Amino acid sequence: MGALGWPGPAGAIPAFAQQTGQRCEKCHVGAFGPQLTPYGRDFKLFGYVSADGKNKLPTIAFIAIGSLTHTQSDQSPPPEHFSANDNFVVDEASLLYGGRLFAGAGAFAEVTYSGVERTVGIDNTDIKRTFDVGMGTRDLQLGVDLNNRPTVQDLWNSTPTWGFPYNSSDLAPTPAASPILDDALAQRVVGLGGYAMWDNRLYTELTLYQPVQNRLLGRLGVDSPEGTDVYDGVAPYWRVALQHDFGDQYLEVGALGLSARRFPGGDRSAGTDRLTDTAIDATYQRTGDARHFISAHAIWIHEDERLGASQILSGTRRSDHLDTVRADVSYSLDSTWTPSAQVFHSTGSNDPVFFGTESGRPNSDGYVAELAFVPWGKAASPVGWANARFTVQYVGYTKFDGQRHGASANNTVYMSARFAVAPLAAFRAP
Protein backbone atom coordinates (compact mmCIF):
# COMPACT_ATOMS: atom_id res chain seq x y z
CA MET A 1 0.00 0.00 0.00
CA GLY A 2 1.09 3.57 -0.53
CA ALA A 3 0.95 6.55 -2.84
CA LEU A 4 0.75 6.20 -6.59
CA GLY A 5 4.32 5.48 -7.57
CA TRP A 6 5.18 8.42 -9.77
CA PRO A 7 8.85 9.33 -9.72
CA GLY A 8 10.37 12.53 -8.46
CA PRO A 9 12.62 14.66 -10.65
CA ALA A 10 16.04 13.30 -11.48
CA GLY A 11 18.11 11.92 -14.32
CA ALA A 12 19.17 14.82 -16.56
CA ILE A 13 22.31 16.63 -15.48
CA PRO A 14 24.68 18.91 -17.43
CA ALA A 15 27.57 17.05 -15.78
CA PHE A 16 27.09 14.30 -18.37
CA ALA A 17 27.33 16.98 -21.08
CA GLN A 18 30.51 18.20 -19.38
CA GLN A 19 32.04 14.73 -19.72
CA THR A 20 30.90 13.87 -23.24
CA GLY A 21 30.94 17.28 -24.93
CA GLN A 22 27.37 16.66 -26.14
CA ARG A 23 24.34 18.84 -25.47
CA CYS A 24 21.40 17.50 -23.46
CA GLU A 25 19.32 16.72 -26.57
CA LYS A 26 21.82 14.03 -27.59
CA CYS A 27 20.87 11.81 -24.65
CA HIS A 28 17.40 13.09 -23.75
CA VAL A 29 14.12 13.47 -25.61
CA GLY A 30 13.06 17.10 -25.42
CA ALA A 31 16.59 18.16 -24.39
CA PHE A 32 15.87 17.37 -20.73
CA GLY A 33 15.71 14.05 -18.94
CA PRO A 34 15.04 11.55 -17.84
CA GLN A 35 13.51 10.26 -21.10
CA LEU A 36 16.36 8.69 -23.09
CA THR A 37 17.22 8.66 -26.78
CA PRO A 38 19.10 5.64 -28.27
CA TYR A 39 22.39 7.45 -27.56
CA GLY A 40 21.32 8.02 -23.96
CA ARG A 41 20.45 4.37 -23.45
CA ASP A 42 23.88 3.33 -24.74
CA PHE A 43 25.58 5.87 -22.46
CA LYS A 44 23.80 4.32 -19.47
CA LEU A 45 24.29 0.72 -20.64
CA PHE A 46 28.06 1.25 -20.84
CA GLY A 47 28.19 2.62 -17.30
CA TYR A 48 28.16 6.43 -17.61
CA VAL A 49 31.81 6.47 -18.78
CA SER A 50 31.69 7.70 -22.39
CA ALA A 51 33.82 10.84 -22.75
CA ASP A 52 35.57 13.02 -25.32
CA GLY A 53 38.75 13.35 -23.22
CA LYS A 54 38.51 17.15 -22.83
CA ASN A 55 37.20 17.27 -19.27
CA LYS A 56 39.58 17.03 -16.31
CA LEU A 57 37.28 18.27 -13.54
CA PRO A 58 34.70 16.48 -11.35
CA THR A 59 31.35 16.04 -13.08
CA ILE A 60 29.01 17.53 -10.50
CA ALA A 61 25.74 19.37 -10.92
CA PHE A 62 23.06 21.19 -8.95
CA ILE A 63 19.35 20.75 -9.64
CA ALA A 64 16.45 22.65 -8.11
CA ILE A 65 12.73 22.50 -8.80
CA GLY A 66 10.00 24.85 -7.63
CA SER A 67 6.29 24.46 -8.20
CA LEU A 68 2.69 25.47 -7.59
CA THR A 69 0.08 22.79 -6.79
CA HIS A 70 -3.64 23.54 -7.13
CA THR A 71 -6.30 20.90 -6.48
CA GLN A 72 -9.90 21.17 -7.62
CA SER A 73 -11.09 21.01 -4.01
CA ASP A 74 -9.28 22.00 -0.84
CA GLN A 75 -7.54 19.11 0.91
CA SER A 76 -8.83 18.15 4.34
CA PRO A 77 -6.69 17.79 6.29
CA PRO A 78 -4.10 19.86 4.39
CA PRO A 79 -0.61 18.47 3.80
CA GLU A 80 1.66 18.85 6.81
CA HIS A 81 3.32 22.31 6.91
CA PHE A 82 1.17 23.51 3.98
CA SER A 83 -2.18 25.07 3.16
CA ALA A 84 -5.30 23.28 2.00
CA ASN A 85 -4.69 24.53 -1.56
CA ASP A 86 -2.50 26.63 -3.87
CA ASN A 87 0.85 25.65 -2.40
CA PHE A 88 4.14 27.07 -3.61
CA VAL A 89 7.17 24.96 -2.68
CA VAL A 90 10.79 24.23 -3.54
CA ASP A 91 10.14 20.56 -4.25
CA GLU A 92 13.76 19.50 -4.26
CA ALA A 93 17.31 20.80 -4.36
CA SER A 94 19.96 18.22 -5.25
CA LEU A 95 23.70 17.89 -5.48
CA LEU A 96 24.58 15.23 -8.05
CA TYR A 97 27.60 13.41 -9.38
CA GLY A 98 27.31 11.87 -12.81
CA GLY A 99 30.09 10.24 -14.81
CA ARG A 100 33.34 8.33 -14.49
CA LEU A 101 34.63 7.12 -11.16
CA PHE A 102 37.76 4.94 -11.30
CA ALA A 103 38.87 1.54 -12.62
CA GLY A 104 36.35 1.78 -15.46
CA ALA A 105 33.31 2.34 -13.23
CA GLY A 106 30.77 5.14 -13.53
CA ALA A 107 27.92 6.48 -11.43
CA PHE A 108 24.83 8.55 -11.08
CA ALA A 109 24.35 9.61 -7.45
CA GLU A 110 22.53 12.40 -5.65
CA VAL A 111 21.92 13.95 -2.25
CA THR A 112 18.59 15.76 -2.06
CA TYR A 113 16.85 18.29 0.15
CA SER A 114 13.08 17.80 0.05
CA GLY A 115 11.12 20.99 0.56
CA VAL A 116 7.98 18.94 1.21
CA GLU A 117 9.38 16.53 3.80
CA ARG A 118 11.99 19.07 4.98
CA THR A 119 14.74 16.49 5.09
CA VAL A 120 18.18 15.98 3.52
CA GLY A 121 19.18 12.49 2.50
CA ILE A 122 20.74 10.05 0.07
CA ASP A 123 18.63 9.87 -3.09
CA ASN A 124 18.96 7.80 -6.28
CA THR A 125 22.31 6.03 -6.58
CA ASP A 126 23.40 3.78 -9.46
CA ILE A 127 27.00 2.57 -9.88
CA LYS A 128 28.01 0.45 -12.90
CA ARG A 129 31.05 -1.35 -14.25
CA THR A 130 30.81 -2.86 -17.73
CA PHE A 131 32.92 -5.26 -19.76
CA ASP A 132 32.83 -5.63 -23.56
CA VAL A 133 33.22 -9.29 -24.51
CA GLY A 134 33.75 -10.22 -28.15
CA MET A 135 31.87 -13.26 -29.45
CA GLY A 136 32.78 -13.52 -33.13
CA THR A 137 30.41 -11.29 -35.09
CA ARG A 138 28.17 -10.72 -32.05
CA ASP A 139 28.80 -8.21 -29.26
CA LEU A 140 28.23 -9.03 -25.63
CA GLN A 141 28.28 -6.39 -22.90
CA LEU A 142 28.41 -7.60 -19.32
CA GLY A 143 27.89 -5.34 -16.35
CA VAL A 144 27.87 -5.21 -12.57
CA ASP A 145 25.45 -2.79 -10.92
CA LEU A 146 25.05 -1.44 -7.38
CA ASN A 147 21.97 0.69 -6.65
CA ASN A 148 19.43 1.66 -4.01
CA ARG A 149 16.14 1.67 -5.92
CA PRO A 150 14.69 -1.12 -8.09
CA THR A 151 14.44 0.01 -11.75
CA VAL A 152 16.74 3.06 -11.23
CA GLN A 153 19.28 1.08 -13.30
CA ASP A 154 16.84 0.40 -16.14
CA LEU A 155 17.44 1.72 -19.67
CA TRP A 156 13.81 2.29 -20.60
CA ASN A 157 11.31 4.95 -19.54
CA SER A 158 8.48 2.45 -19.35
CA THR A 159 9.58 1.27 -15.90
CA PRO A 160 8.64 3.05 -12.65
CA THR A 161 11.67 5.08 -11.55
CA TRP A 162 12.09 6.98 -14.80
CA GLY A 163 8.54 6.68 -16.15
CA PHE A 164 6.14 9.48 -17.08
CA PRO A 165 5.25 11.89 -15.55
CA TYR A 166 8.90 12.77 -15.06
CA ASN A 167 8.08 15.01 -12.13
CA SER A 168 4.81 15.46 -10.28
CA SER A 169 3.44 17.06 -7.15
CA ASP A 170 4.25 15.63 -3.72
CA LEU A 171 1.43 17.77 -2.29
CA ALA A 172 -1.45 16.45 -4.39
CA PRO A 173 -3.75 13.60 -3.31
CA THR A 174 -2.91 10.24 -4.88
CA PRO A 175 -4.59 6.82 -4.74
CA ALA A 176 -4.01 4.75 -1.61
CA ALA A 177 -2.54 1.63 -3.24
CA SER A 178 0.40 0.95 -5.52
CA PRO A 179 2.62 -2.09 -6.17
CA ILE A 180 6.00 -2.35 -4.48
CA LEU A 181 7.70 -1.93 -7.88
CA ASP A 182 6.31 1.61 -7.84
CA ASP A 183 9.09 2.84 -5.55
CA ALA A 184 8.02 1.33 -2.21
CA LEU A 185 11.64 0.20 -1.74
CA ALA A 186 13.30 3.40 -2.99
CA GLN A 187 16.36 4.24 -0.86
CA ARG A 188 15.33 1.52 1.64
CA VAL A 189 17.39 -1.25 0.04
CA VAL A 190 20.81 -1.88 -1.45
CA GLY A 191 21.00 -4.10 -4.50
CA LEU A 192 23.93 -5.80 -6.22
CA GLY A 193 23.42 -7.52 -9.55
CA GLY A 194 24.66 -8.34 -12.99
CA TYR A 195 23.33 -7.67 -16.48
CA ALA A 196 24.10 -8.57 -20.07
CA MET A 197 23.27 -7.12 -23.49
CA TRP A 198 23.73 -9.58 -26.35
CA ASP A 199 24.06 -8.33 -29.93
CA ASN A 200 22.44 -5.03 -28.93
CA ARG A 201 19.14 -6.94 -28.87
CA LEU A 202 18.60 -9.03 -25.76
CA TYR A 203 19.01 -7.55 -22.28
CA THR A 204 18.91 -9.68 -19.12
CA GLU A 205 19.48 -8.78 -15.47
CA LEU A 206 19.32 -10.28 -12.00
CA THR A 207 19.75 -8.09 -8.91
CA LEU A 208 19.42 -9.08 -5.25
CA TYR A 209 18.23 -6.40 -2.82
CA GLN A 210 18.92 -6.35 0.89
CA PRO A 211 16.85 -4.11 3.20
CA VAL A 212 18.65 -1.30 5.03
CA GLN A 213 17.96 -1.24 8.75
CA ASN A 214 15.79 1.63 10.05
CA ARG A 215 18.54 3.01 12.28
CA LEU A 216 20.84 3.41 9.27
CA LEU A 217 17.99 4.77 7.13
CA GLY A 218 17.59 7.60 9.64
CA ARG A 219 21.27 8.45 9.36
CA LEU A 220 20.93 8.52 5.57
CA GLY A 221 18.02 10.95 5.80
CA VAL A 222 15.31 8.41 4.83
CA ASP A 223 12.21 8.93 6.97
CA SER A 224 10.93 5.76 8.71
CA PRO A 225 8.18 6.76 11.17
CA GLU A 226 6.68 4.28 13.61
CA GLY A 227 4.40 1.87 11.80
CA THR A 228 6.44 1.79 8.59
CA ASP A 229 6.60 -1.61 6.89
CA VAL A 230 9.92 -3.40 7.44
CA TYR A 231 11.26 -5.71 4.73
CA ASP A 232 12.96 -9.00 5.53
CA GLY A 233 15.65 -10.97 3.75
CA VAL A 234 16.78 -10.82 0.15
CA ALA A 235 14.37 -9.45 -2.47
CA PRO A 236 15.25 -10.74 -5.97
CA TYR A 237 14.62 -8.50 -9.00
CA TRP A 238 14.80 -9.76 -12.57
CA ARG A 239 14.57 -8.08 -15.97
CA VAL A 240 14.52 -9.20 -19.60
CA ALA A 241 14.02 -6.99 -22.67
CA LEU A 242 14.24 -7.41 -26.43
CA GLN A 243 14.96 -4.36 -28.59
CA HIS A 244 15.25 -3.73 -32.33
CA ASP A 245 15.60 -0.82 -34.76
CA PHE A 246 13.35 -0.79 -37.83
CA GLY A 247 14.94 1.95 -39.90
CA ASP A 248 13.97 5.17 -38.19
CA GLN A 249 11.74 3.38 -35.67
CA TYR A 250 12.65 1.60 -32.45
CA LEU A 251 10.76 -1.00 -30.40
CA GLU A 252 11.41 -2.64 -27.04
CA VAL A 253 9.27 -5.26 -25.33
CA GLY A 254 10.15 -6.80 -22.00
CA ALA A 255 9.22 -8.16 -18.62
CA LEU A 256 10.41 -7.62 -15.07
CA GLY A 257 9.58 -8.72 -11.56
CA LEU A 258 10.32 -8.35 -7.86
CA SER A 259 9.47 -10.47 -4.81
CA ALA A 260 9.79 -9.32 -1.21
CA ARG A 261 8.79 -10.34 2.31
CA ARG A 262 7.74 -7.71 4.82
CA PHE A 263 6.65 -7.30 8.41
CA PRO A 264 3.45 -5.21 8.13
CA GLY A 265 3.79 -2.03 10.15
CA GLY A 266 7.13 -3.31 11.40
CA ASP A 267 5.40 -5.87 13.66
CA ARG A 268 7.47 -9.10 13.71
CA SER A 269 5.15 -11.10 15.95
CA ALA A 270 3.11 -12.82 13.21
CA GLY A 271 5.65 -13.57 10.52
CA THR A 272 5.73 -11.87 7.12
CA ASP A 273 3.61 -11.06 4.11
CA ARG A 274 4.92 -12.01 0.66
CA LEU A 275 4.46 -9.53 -2.20
CA THR A 276 5.34 -10.59 -5.75
CA ASP A 277 5.19 -8.19 -8.70
CA THR A 278 5.32 -9.28 -12.33
CA ALA A 279 5.27 -6.71 -15.14
CA ILE A 280 5.23 -6.45 -18.93
CA ASP A 281 6.46 -3.27 -20.62
CA ALA A 282 7.02 -1.77 -24.07
CA THR A 283 8.72 1.28 -25.59
CA TYR A 284 8.29 2.75 -29.08
CA GLN A 285 10.25 5.66 -30.59
CA ARG A 286 10.31 7.30 -34.00
CA THR A 287 13.81 8.70 -34.31
CA GLY A 288 14.39 9.50 -37.98
CA ASP A 289 13.59 13.22 -38.04
CA ALA A 290 15.83 15.52 -35.99
CA ARG A 291 12.99 18.05 -35.52
CA HIS A 292 10.22 15.60 -34.64
CA PHE A 293 10.69 12.87 -32.03
CA ILE A 294 7.83 10.59 -30.96
CA SER A 295 7.96 8.30 -27.92
CA ALA A 296 5.43 5.97 -26.35
CA HIS A 297 5.62 3.68 -23.31
CA ALA A 298 3.35 1.18 -21.61
CA ILE A 299 3.54 -1.03 -18.55
CA TRP A 300 1.23 -3.51 -16.80
CA ILE A 301 2.13 -4.56 -13.24
CA HIS A 302 0.38 -7.41 -11.46
CA GLU A 303 0.97 -7.79 -7.72
CA ASP A 304 0.15 -10.99 -5.87
CA GLU A 305 -0.21 -10.32 -2.13
CA ARG A 306 0.04 -13.25 0.31
CA LEU A 307 -1.01 -11.69 3.61
CA GLY A 308 -0.46 -14.29 6.30
CA ALA A 309 0.91 -11.78 8.81
CA SER A 310 -1.57 -8.99 7.98
CA GLN A 311 -4.49 -11.39 8.37
CA ILE A 312 -3.41 -12.27 11.90
CA LEU A 313 -2.50 -8.72 12.94
CA SER A 314 -5.28 -6.65 11.38
CA GLY A 315 -7.87 -8.97 9.84
CA THR A 316 -7.13 -8.57 6.15
CA ARG A 317 -8.01 -11.26 3.65
CA ARG A 318 -5.58 -14.13 3.31
CA SER A 319 -4.56 -12.97 -0.16
CA ASP A 320 -5.21 -10.01 -2.43
CA HIS A 321 -4.12 -8.74 -5.82
CA LEU A 322 -3.49 -5.39 -7.48
CA ASP A 323 -3.18 -4.60 -11.20
CA THR A 324 -1.81 -1.31 -12.53
CA VAL A 325 -1.67 -0.23 -16.19
CA ARG A 326 -0.09 2.96 -17.55
CA ALA A 327 0.47 4.13 -21.13
CA ASP A 328 1.91 7.43 -22.34
CA VAL A 329 2.91 9.17 -25.55
CA SER A 330 4.95 12.32 -26.17
CA TYR A 331 5.93 14.40 -29.18
CA SER A 332 8.99 16.65 -29.07
CA LEU A 333 9.32 19.54 -31.54
CA ASP A 334 12.85 20.85 -32.06
CA SER A 335 13.77 19.46 -28.61
CA THR A 336 11.97 22.49 -27.23
CA TRP A 337 8.22 21.92 -26.96
CA THR A 338 7.08 18.51 -25.68
CA PRO A 339 3.38 17.79 -25.14
CA SER A 340 2.69 14.44 -23.42
CA ALA A 341 -0.34 12.45 -22.33
CA GLN A 342 -0.88 9.39 -20.17
CA VAL A 343 -3.79 7.20 -19.12
CA PHE A 344 -3.67 5.00 -16.01
CA HIS A 345 -5.88 2.32 -14.50
CA SER A 346 -5.66 0.34 -11.26
CA THR A 347 -7.91 -2.42 -10.00
CA GLY A 348 -7.73 -4.97 -7.22
CA SER A 349 -9.41 -7.11 -4.59
CA ASN A 350 -12.16 -5.98 -2.24
CA ASP A 351 -10.27 -5.63 1.06
CA PRO A 352 -10.96 -2.39 2.98
CA VAL A 353 -8.55 -3.30 5.78
CA PHE A 354 -5.57 -3.91 3.53
CA PHE A 355 -6.12 -1.18 0.93
CA GLY A 356 -7.46 1.36 3.42
CA THR A 357 -10.18 2.77 1.17
CA GLU A 358 -13.78 3.55 2.03
CA SER A 359 -15.01 1.47 -0.91
CA GLY A 360 -12.79 -1.46 0.03
CA ARG A 361 -11.19 -1.48 -3.42
CA PRO A 362 -8.05 0.25 -4.74
CA ASN A 363 -9.58 0.94 -8.17
CA SER A 364 -8.51 4.28 -9.70
CA ASP A 365 -8.68 5.62 -13.27
CA GLY A 366 -7.43 8.83 -14.77
CA TYR A 367 -5.18 10.70 -17.14
CA VAL A 368 -2.29 13.15 -17.22
CA ALA A 369 -1.77 15.92 -19.79
CA GLU A 370 1.45 17.93 -19.81
CA LEU A 371 3.25 20.56 -21.85
CA ALA A 372 6.98 21.07 -21.31
CA PHE A 373 9.18 23.89 -22.61
CA VAL A 374 13.00 23.58 -22.63
CA PRO A 375 14.78 26.70 -23.93
CA TRP A 376 18.37 25.36 -23.85
CA GLY A 377 20.19 22.03 -24.08
CA LYS A 378 20.57 22.27 -27.88
CA ALA A 379 23.42 23.04 -30.27
CA ALA A 380 22.36 26.66 -30.59
CA SER A 381 22.12 27.21 -26.82
CA PRO A 382 24.40 29.91 -25.41
CA VAL A 383 25.94 27.59 -22.77
CA GLY A 384 26.30 23.85 -22.34
CA TRP A 385 26.57 23.89 -18.56
CA ALA A 386 23.00 24.92 -17.70
CA ASN A 387 19.49 23.91 -18.66
CA ALA A 388 15.89 24.51 -17.58
CA ARG A 389 12.50 22.86 -17.99
CA PHE A 390 9.14 24.53 -17.47
CA THR A 391 6.00 22.38 -17.32
CA VAL A 392 2.26 22.71 -16.93
CA GLN A 393 0.60 19.44 -15.95
CA TYR A 394 -3.01 18.43 -15.34
CA VAL A 395 -3.97 15.20 -13.55
CA GLY A 396 -7.60 14.14 -13.85
CA TYR A 397 -9.43 11.30 -12.09
CA THR A 398 -12.57 9.52 -13.26
CA LYS A 399 -12.36 7.06 -10.35
CA PHE A 400 -10.43 7.46 -7.10
CA ASP A 401 -9.96 4.66 -4.53
CA GLY A 402 -12.93 2.75 -5.90
CA GLN A 403 -15.36 5.68 -6.12
CA ARG A 404 -16.48 7.71 -9.11
CA HIS A 405 -18.48 10.20 -7.06
CA GLY A 406 -16.13 12.94 -5.89
CA ALA A 407 -13.13 11.60 -7.83
CA SER A 408 -12.68 14.89 -9.70
CA ALA A 409 -12.15 16.72 -6.39
CA ASN A 410 -8.60 15.29 -6.53
CA ASN A 411 -7.85 16.73 -9.98
CA THR A 412 -4.62 18.67 -9.88
CA VAL A 413 -2.89 21.47 -11.78
CA TYR A 414 0.86 21.33 -11.26
CA MET A 415 3.17 24.03 -12.66
CA SER A 416 6.90 23.57 -12.19
CA ALA A 417 10.24 25.10 -13.09
CA ARG A 418 13.35 22.94 -12.96
CA PHE A 419 16.91 24.24 -13.27
CA ALA A 420 20.10 22.21 -13.73
CA VAL A 421 23.63 23.65 -13.58
CA ALA A 422 27.06 22.02 -13.86
CA PRO A 423 29.34 24.91 -12.82
CA LEU A 424 32.65 23.20 -13.63
CA ALA A 425 31.56 22.52 -17.20
CA ALA A 426 32.37 26.14 -18.00
CA PHE A 427 36.05 25.22 -17.58
CA ARG A 428 36.14 22.37 -20.11
CA ALA A 429 39.03 22.37 -22.54
CA PRO A 430 37.90 23.78 -25.91
How large is the average pLDDT for residues 389-397?
Answer: 98
For residue 10, is pLDDT > 60? no
Least confident of 1-15, 119-133, 206-220, 344-358: 1-15
HSE-up (13 A, CA, CB side) for residue 414: 26
User: What φ, ψ does residue 186 adopt, rounded to 5°?
Assistant: -55, 125
User: What φ, ψ does residue 308 adopt, rounded to 5°?
Assistant: -55, -45
Beta bridge partners of 250: 245, 285
How large is the average pLDDT for residues 96-105?
Answer: 94
Model confidence at 137, in pLDDT bands (50, 70, 90)?
A: confident
Model confidence at 289, in pLDDT bands (50, 70, 90)?
A: confident
Model confidence at 1, in pLDDT bands (50, 70, 90)?
A: very low
Residue type at 243 in one-letter notation: Q
pTM of the model: 0.94
* Cα angle for residues 209, 355, 405 (degrees, 5° grid): 135
pLDDT of residue 207: 98
Q: What domains, with CATH codes, occur in the chain?
A: 14-427 (2.40.160)
Give the sign of the dihedral formed by CA 344, CA 116, CA 156, CA 336. Answer: positive
Least confident of 170-179, 197-206, 217-226, 384-393: 217-226
